[in-house]
Amino acid sequence: MESESKTQNGDLSIYIHWPFCKSKCPYCDFMSISKNSSEEFDEVEILLLKDLETSLQELDVSSIRTIFFGGGTPSLMNAKTISKILNFITKNYKTNSNIEISLEANPATFSKEKLKEIKEVGVNRLSLGIQSFQDKDLKFLGRIYNSEQALKAAEMVTNIFSNYSFDFIYGYQSQSIDDLKNNLLMAVNFGCPHISCYQLTFEEGTPFFRLLQNGKIRQLTEAQEIEFFRYIQDFLERFSFNRYEISNYALKNFESKHNLAYWRYQNYLGVGPSAHSRLVFNNQKYELKKFSDIDKWKSSLYRNLSTYEYRNILMDYEQLEEIFVMGLRLSEGISIKSLKSRFSNDILDPILKRIDLLSKENLFKKSESQIKLSENGMLKQDSVVEFLFN
């Protein structure tokens, strides 16, 4: 974009993608590369800062709301690099007084000293990918640590950070409700203020998908999925956790601000290979994506060319669909007033009529001000959105 096309993006969230991990998990379809080369790490750390600087120059930003280091395994990053990135942002842009700065961590990739360094340079929220505290589950999920290491990592995080999340994967054939209960109880006993529970999915192109196709592993039945889903909610509600999003539970004031920016369809910038953005230029909403091929991403930065693989204008109907895909994940739902202020009746009315139909089937709860899914609707969210827009 030329400088004259800068457009106010208001409060912005920034996602920084670290592409490396020690070992790629068999269920993962994110852009990540299994490497442990300090030389390549150093190169990418420098280029991430350059990508951030050049990407932000295109934007007229009033302030930075949240920053999230994701991946890959960003706990492999050098704390000095994290510091340089955060210093660049805070020196050149206004940041919210209560800015949330999150980093994802794998239990096998940090020491107590490294964790303290990460906190000292400005990270104030840690998302710990525990996945399970059970050895048999960790082995099945292809994790590179055992239950003892997971417990030790959880203890370190608990002692160093006050705002953190334990992330779990659930819903596979070798896992029982008791296993799930033990994981959740362990998190609660640690005093964890935010718990994410993601149902295992079999994404095309992953080793797990191939095993599923070959009949080596199987998915849970729909009845089992519902049993797990309801058990998590019932269990965590007893300990004052609020399910504010389909897979996310938090004690009061510990919701992930960064993820809420996605679900509320606010503007965000993605930096690093394969990172996505939703930004406004010339009063038009754009979908942007950085090069997924890390060599193309590097080459673009070395040659001072755009690092975007594509930039697409999102038409009103596409934006409306994205708002529903993201917003229906939230327990708060979607504001009808905001929809009516943003979209014409021609686009909106057919969708609202379909919602009225699904409300009669107990899939939606619709008031004068909000549209949200019922519990039954949350269990069928993908099908519901497909019905609304196809």
Q: What's the CATH number where 135 sits?
A: 3.20.20.70
379 is a domain residue: yes
> 3-state class of 222 per DSSP?
helix
299 is a domain residue: no
Last residue of a domain, one of 227, 261, 295: 261
Q: Buried b / exposed e across 119-132, counting CB within 10 Å, b at 16+? A: bebbbbbbbbbbbb
Tokens of 170: 């659930």
Neighbouring residues of 357: CB distance < 8 A, sequence distance ≥ 6 = none
Q: What is the pLDDT of residues 308-319, one digit of tens each?
A: 999 999 999 999
Last residue of a domain, one of 236, 261, 286: 261
Residues 191 and 255 in one domain: yes
Domains in the chain, number: 2
Residues 36 and 178 in one domain: yes
For residues 157 and 115, the answer to whether their CB atoms sit within 8 Å is yes
Residues 332 and 215 in one domain: no
Residues 327 and 230 in one domain: no
Residues 234 and 335 in one domain: no
* Cα three-residue angle 45-46-49, rounded to 5 degrees: 90
162 is a domain residue: yes
Of the CA atoms within 13 Å of residue 294, those in its CB half-sphere come to 17
Residues 160 and 46 in one domain: yes
> 3-state class of 93 per DSSP?
coil
Residues 78 and 162 in one domain: yes
Q: State how far the Cα of 157 lies from the Cα of 249, in Å rounded to an integer.
A: 18
278 is a domain residue: no
Q: State how far the Cα of 260 lies from the Cα of 237, in Å rounded to an integer.
A: 20
Q: What is the pLDDT of residues 182-235, one digit of tens each?
A: 999 999 999 999 999 999 988 888 888 898 888 888 888 889 999 999 999 999
Residues 235 and 325 in one domain: no
Q: What is the pLDDT of residues 155-164, one digit of tens each?
A: 999 999 999 9
Residues 108 and 254 in one domain: yes
185 is a domain residue: yes
Length of the chain: 390
Q: What is the pLDDT of residues 92-149, one digit of tens each?
A: 999 988 999 999 999 999 999 999 999 999 999 999 999 999 999 999 998 899 999 9
- Residue 3 predicted with pLDDT over 50: no
- Residue 275 predicted with pLDDT over 80: yes
206 is a domain residue: yes
- Residue 255 predicted with pLDDT over 90: yes
Give the pLDDT band (50/70/90) at residue 4: very low
* Cα dihedral: 35, 38, 43, 48 (round 10): 70
276 is a domain residue: no
Q: What's the CATH number where 338 sits?
A: 1.10.10.920
Nearest CA-CA partner of 196 in 283, 271, 131: 131
Give the pLDDT band (50/70/90) at residue 82: very high
Tokens of 276: 């996505």
For residues 10 and 269, the answer to whether their CB atoms sit within 8 Å is no
> 3-state class of 364 per DSSP?
strand
Question: What is the extent of the structural domain holding 320?
Answer: 316-390
Element of type H or E holding 382: helix 381-389
User: What is the amino acid identity at position 242?
Assistant: N
Element of type H or E holding 310: strand 308-313
Tokens of 192: 């964890």
Last residue of a domain, one of 261, 293, 327: 261
Mean pLDDT of the chain: 92
179 is a domain residue: yes
- Residue 5 predicted with pLDDT over 70: no
pLDDT, residue 26, reads 73
User: What average pLDDT score do residues 64-89 get?
Assistant: 95
Residues 235 and 323 in one domain: no
